[in-house]
Structure 1
Amino acid sequence: MNEGGIGLSGLLILLVLLALRVPVAFAMFLVGFFGIAILNGLPSAMSLLASEAFTLGTSPELVVIPLFILMGNVASASGMSRRLYDAAYAAIGHVRGGLASATVIGCGGFAALSGSSVASALTMGKVALAEMQRFNYDPRLSTGVVAAGGTLGILIPPSTGFVIYAILTEQSIGRLFIAGILPGLLLLALFVTAISLICWWRPEMGPAGERRPLGAKLRALAGAVPILGVILVSIGGIYAGLFSPVEAAAVGAGLVIALGALSGNLTLAQLWSASKDSVATTATVMLILIGAHMISPFLALAHVSTIVGSFIEGLGLGVTGTLVMILALYLVLGCFLEGFAMLVLTLPIFFPIVTALGIDPIWFGVLVVLTLEMGLISPPVGINVFIVKSVAPDVPLGQIFRGVLPFWAMMLVALAILIAFPQISLVLPNSMFD
C-alpha cells in the first residue's frame, strides 16, 4: 500500500475508533503514533511523541487556557454570572420575550469570562430556566435559548476554540480573540431578533415578565459593573496593546478571584473546587492537543492534504466555492463529531488548501469556529442540547432540538453575512496591528 493509501486508511480507522466511543485524544494518538511508525519507523514515532508532549507542556502560549477557564469557573462559583443575568433581566425582562433575550445577553456576557460553550449553557441553564418556567415560557423557547446562547462561549473572546485553532495553525491568539468580537455581537443580535420574531408570531411562547422599579434596575445594573469591568480590562487590554493574551488571562483571573473574595461571595472551598475543575478541563484540552500533534505529522507524511487538495482543485469551484464546500463539510461533521475533535482532525487537511488559495487565516478561523458552534446544537450529537437536557430533565429531547432550530437558522445567516463581508471579522484585528 502506498503512502496515500496508508493515510486514508488511518483516517478510516480513526472514524471507526470515534464511533466506538474511544476518547478523541487517545484515538488520534493511536492512529498518529502507529501511522508514523509504519511510514517512518518506530524510533521516529517515539521521538516525536516525546518531543511534542514536552513542547506542548512547556509552551507559554497555552497558559491562557487554564487561566481563562479558571476565570469562568470562579465567576460561576461566586455568583457573578447570575448578576450579569439579573442586570439584563432588569433592563428588558418586562417586555414580551424579554426574559429569553436577557438569557441570551447573559450568555454573551458569561462567554466573555469563561470561553466555554458548555460552561455557558450549564451555568445560564441553572440560572435562567427556573425563571422562564416561573413566567410560563414555552419549554421549546426557554431550552432552545439556553442551548443556543451557550454557543456564544466559543466565539466571543476569550474562546478556547480560537486558542486551539491558533496553536494548530500557528496564528496569533490575540488577533483571533479580537476578530471574534464583532461576529459574536452580530450573532447575539441575531439571536435576540429570532426571539422577538418568535414572540411576535406566537406571543404565548414568551410572556412578559415583571416590570421592576427604577431603583431595582439601577441596583441590578450596579451589581454587574465589577464583572463588566473585568471583561473590559482583560479583552480591552489586548486590543489596546497593554496585555498579551496570556497576561490578559492572568489579570482577568486575578481580578475575578479578588472581587469574589472582597465581596464575600467566594469561599476557599469554592475556589478549590473551581481550581480542580479548571485543572481537569485543561488536562483534557492538553491531551487532545498532544493527540493532534501526533496525527498531523502522520497526515503530512501520508500526503493526505495534497490528495484532498488535488481533488478539490479538480472540482474547479474557485476560491469562494471551495470555502463554502469546506464549511459545508464542517456543518455535516458537526452532526457527528465534537467541536474540538473536528478542529484537530480537519485543520491539518484543510488549512494548507485554504492558505494556498490566499484565504485570510484569521477570517477562516472565525468562520470555522462559527460552524463549530452550529455543531454544538445539531442532532444527533449536539452537546449543548444534552447539557440543557441535564438541567431540564422534564423537557423531551425532541422539544429542545426543535427549540434550537430558529437559532441554528440565525447562525446560518450570520455565516453567510461573514462570508459576504470579511471585514466584519478583520476590521478590529487589522486596526489593532496596523
Structure 2
Amino acid sequence: MELKLYASQERKRLVLNGSGQWVDRFSVTGVIVSLVALVFLSVVTLTDISLRSLSSHGVRGLFELNGLIMAVIISGFLSLVFIQRRNIQVDVMGKMAGSNQLGVALVSALAEAVMMIGLSWVVCLRAWDAYQYNETTVVTGMGTTGFWIVTSVVMIFGTLLVVGRNLAQWGRLILTKAYLEEGFLRGLGVVVAAFAISAVLLFVFLTPEYGMGLQASIVFIALYILIAAQIPVGVALALLGVTSLGLLLNVESAFVITQNEVARALTSMDLAAIPLFLLMGNFATWAGLSGDIFKVGTSLVGSRRGGLAMASVMGCGGFGAICGSSIATTATFGKVAFTEMEKRNYAHSLTAGCIAAGGTLGALLPPSVVLIVYCVVVEVSIRDAFQAALLPGLLALGMYIIAIMVAVRVKPDLAPTIEKFDWATARKALIQAWRPTILFLLVLGGLYGGFFTTQEAASVGAVLALAFAFMSKDFGWKEFRSSLLDTAINSGAIYIIFIGANIFAGFMSFSDVASLILNLVNVDVTPHWVILLALVVFYLLLGTIFDTMAAVLVTAPLVVPLILGMDYSLVWWGVVTLSLVEIGMITPPLGMNVFVMRSVVGDRLQLTSIFKGVTPFLLADLVRIALLVAFPAISMWLPSVLN
C-alpha cells in the first residue's frame, strides 16, 4: 500500500515538476538580474537623497526614470511566481475536489498561463503606444519607448517559459498516465465545473436586458466560485475583469482599460516600496536583527513571570516593523523564541500562542506591505496611513503583553518562576541592538518626519539592511540569492493580485457598484453602528478563510462606498480593516499564522494546543477592535499632529 502511494506521489511530482529544471534556471537567472538592478536602484536613490541633503540638487528626473525601470524589474520576476505556482489562493473547496489535487493544479496553471499571455500582450500594446505617440519623460525629455520595449521583451520571454512549462505538464500527464490515478477526474471536474458555471453566469446576465446591479452581483458570485475552486485570487480577478469588461463594453475597450491598469501598476512608485521593504526584511533576517531584538526584550522583561513570552511579542512587533510581513515574522520568531522558552519550561500552548499572535503585528506596524497596497487602491496617503497605524499597533502590542500577564496570573503553571533582573546583561543587549535601532531611526524616523517618501525610506532600509547582512559571518552568495528569490516571489504574487484587482475594479466602476451598495444599505437611515458592526463580523469571518491581501483587495470595491457614505476616513478604515483580517490569521479553524507556527515546531505541538494558546490574545484583540471602532481618534490623532 505504501509503495503504491509513493508511486502515485512520484507520478504527480513528475507531472508538475518533471524535467523543467531548465525553465527554473532561466527564470531564476532573470529574477536575480532584476533584483540586483533593484538593489542598484536603491543605491542610486540613496545617492539622490545624499545630494539633496548636501545641496539643493539631486539626480535630475530620477523619480520618472525609477518608475520606468521598475516596470522592467517587476516584469523580470512575474514568470517565477507562475512557474513555481506561488500565487495567492484560497482552499475552500479542497474537500470537494478530493485528496488528488493534480487536476486542480493543472487547470490553475493553465489559467495562470492565460493571464501571463494577456499581460505580455497589453505590455506590447503599451510599447506600441509609446512609440506611436513618441512619449517622453516630462523632466528629462527622454523617450520611454526603449523602456517599454525592454519590458515587453522580458515579459514575452517569461511568457514562453510559463507556457512551455504548462505544455510540458500536460504532456507528462499523458505520458505518465497520471490521469488514471484515483480522484484525478473528481478534482478536475470540480475546477472545470467552476469555470463552466462562471462562464454561463457571465454570458447570460451581462447583456443589456439586465440591470447594472444584477450584473455586478453575478460577477461577484462568479469571482467567489473561481476563488473557492482554488484558482489564484489575482488570476480570477484579472480573467473575470477582462471578460466582464469585454461583454459590458467591447473587446477593444477591455484591452485599453487592462493596458492602462497594468502599466500603472508596473510603474507605480508607491508599489515600488513593496519589493524594497520585503528585501529589507529578508536582509535583516540574515543579518540576525531578529535575535538582537529578542535579546533586548528578554533582558528587559525576562525577569518577570511570563517575561520571555512578553519579549517574544515585543520582538515580533519590532521585527514586524522591519519586515512588514505577518507570516515572515511568525516563521522567524518561531525559530528564535520557541526553543528559548521551551528550555525554560514555558507551557507549549503559551509559547506558540504568543508567537503566532505576535506575528500579526507584522502587517499592522509600519512599514506594512498590505497597508501600502490598500492605500494605492483607495488612493490615500501612505504616509498618513503609516502614521495612523502606529498607535493602534502599539495598542495591540500593549494589550498582548497585558493578556500574557493576566494568563500567567490566572494559571501560574504556564510560565516558570521569576528570574533575577540583571542590569549589566540588559545594558549589553541594548548596546548590541544598535543595528535595528539605526534601521528604525532612519526608515521610520525619516518617513514620519517627512524627510523621505515611502519609496526612498524603503530604499534606505534595503541598502542599510544589506550592509548589515554583509557584516554577518553567515551571509554569502547563497543567502543573498535566497533573499532575492524570496523577495521576487512574494513581490510578484502581490503585484499579480494588485493588477487583477485593478482590472476587476475597472468593471466595478463601469457597473457603478458604489451607487448599488449605497441604495441597498441606506446610510442615512440605517444606524452607522449597525453597519460598522456588520462589517466587523464580516471581516472577522473573512479573515479566517482569505489571505490578508486577498481579503482587502476583493472587498474594497464593496466596502469603500459605505465608509465614504458614512463620512468616515478611509485611512482610519484601512487600519481597522487590517486589524480585523490580521485577527483572522489566528482565528480557528484556518488561522494562517497558526499553521505557520505548526510548520516551524513540527510534531512537538498539535494545532489544538496552538489555538488554545492564542485564545487570550483573541480576547485582547476583540477589546482592541471595539476601541478602534468606537474611538477613531486612536488612529487619527497622530496624523493630525504630525501633519
User: Match of 1:431?
Assistant: 641
Aligned partner of residue 180 in structure 1, secondary structure: helix
User: Match of 1:241?
Assistant: 450
User: Match of 2:277?
Assistant: 68
Q: RMSD of the alignment, in Å?
A: 1.6
TM-score when normalising by structure 1: 0.96
TM-score when normalising by structure 2: 0.65
Q: Deviations over 1:247-294 (max 9, x none)?
A: 111111111222232354533332221122111111010001001001
Indicate whether 1:295 and 2:504 are aligned.
yes
The alpha carbon displacement at 1:59 in A equals: 1.0
User: Match of 2:226?
Assistant: 17
Identify which range, 354-363 or 314-323, moves more after superposition.
314-323
Distance in 1, matches of 2:600 and 2:311, equals 18
Distance in 1, matches of 2:266 and 2:578, equals 24
8 Å CA contact 2:523–2:565 kept in 1: the answer is: no
Indicate whether 1:27 and 2:244 are aligned.
no
The alpha carbon displacement at 1:4 in A equals: 2.1
User: Match of 2:440?
Assistant: 231
User: Match of 2:466?
Assistant: 257
Indicate whether 1:219 and 2:219 are aligned.
no
8 Å CA contact 2:584–2:591 kept in 1: the answer is: yes
The alpha carbon displacement at 1:208 in A equals: 3.8
Distance in 2, matches of 1:382 and 1:65, equals 24
Which residues of structure 1 form unaligned runs of 5+?
none
8 Å CA contact 1:6–1:35 kept in 2: the answer is: no
User: Match of 1:149?
Assistant: 358
Which residues of structure 2 form unaligned runs of 5+?
1-204
8 Å CA contact 1:141–1:205 kept in 2: the answer is: yes
Distance in 1, matches of 2:476 and 2:422, equals 32
8 Å CA contact 1:338–1:375 kept in 2: the answer is: no
Identify which range, 189-198 or 135-144, moves more after superposition.
135-144
Indicate whether 1:102 and 2:314 are aligned.
no
Distance in 1, matches of 2:230 and 2:608, equals 23
Identify which range, 350-359 or 96-105, moves more after superposition.
350-359
Aligned partner of residue 393 in structure 1, secondary structure: helix
Greater Rg over alpha carbons, structure: 2
Q: Deviations over 1:342-390 (max 9, x none)?
A: 1111111111221122101111111111111111112232111110010
User: Match of 2:606?
Assistant: 396
Aligned partner of residue 588 in structure 2, secondary structure: coil
8 Å CA contact 1:111–1:150 kept in 2: the answer is: yes
The alpha carbon displacement at 1:209 in A equals: 6.4
User: Match of 1:92?
Assistant: 301
1:19-418 equivalences in 2 (<5 Å): 19-208=228-417, 210-211=419-420, 213-264=422-473, 266-313=475-522, 316-394=525-603, 395-418=605-628
The alpha carbon displacement at 1:315 in A equals: 9.0
The alpha carbon displacement at 1:217 in A equals: 2.3
User: Match of 2:45?
Assistant: none
Distance in 2, matches of 1:34 and 1:4, equals 17
The alpha carbon displacement at 1:225 in A equals: 2.2
Q: Deviations over 1:138-179 (max 9, x none)?
A: 121111111100000111000012101101100111111111
Distance in 2, matches of 1:19 and 1:298, equals 21
Distance in 1, matches of 2:535 and 2:474, equals 46
8 Å CA contact 2:352–2:610 kept in 1: the answer is: yes
Identify which range, 181-190 or 380-389, moves more after superposition.
380-389
Distance in 2, matches of 1:223 and 1:10, equals 55
Distance in 2, matches of 1:363 and 1:69, equals 24
8 Å CA contact 1:73–1:274 kept in 2: the answer is: yes
Identity of counterpart residues, as a percentage?
35
Q: Residues 18, 101 of structure 1: CA spacing in aligned structure 2 closer, same or farther, 3 A cutoff?
A: same
Q: Residues 314, 196 of structure 1: CA spacing in aligned structure 2 closer, same or farther, 3 A cutoff?
A: closer
8 Å CA contact 1:337–1:381 kept in 2: the answer is: no
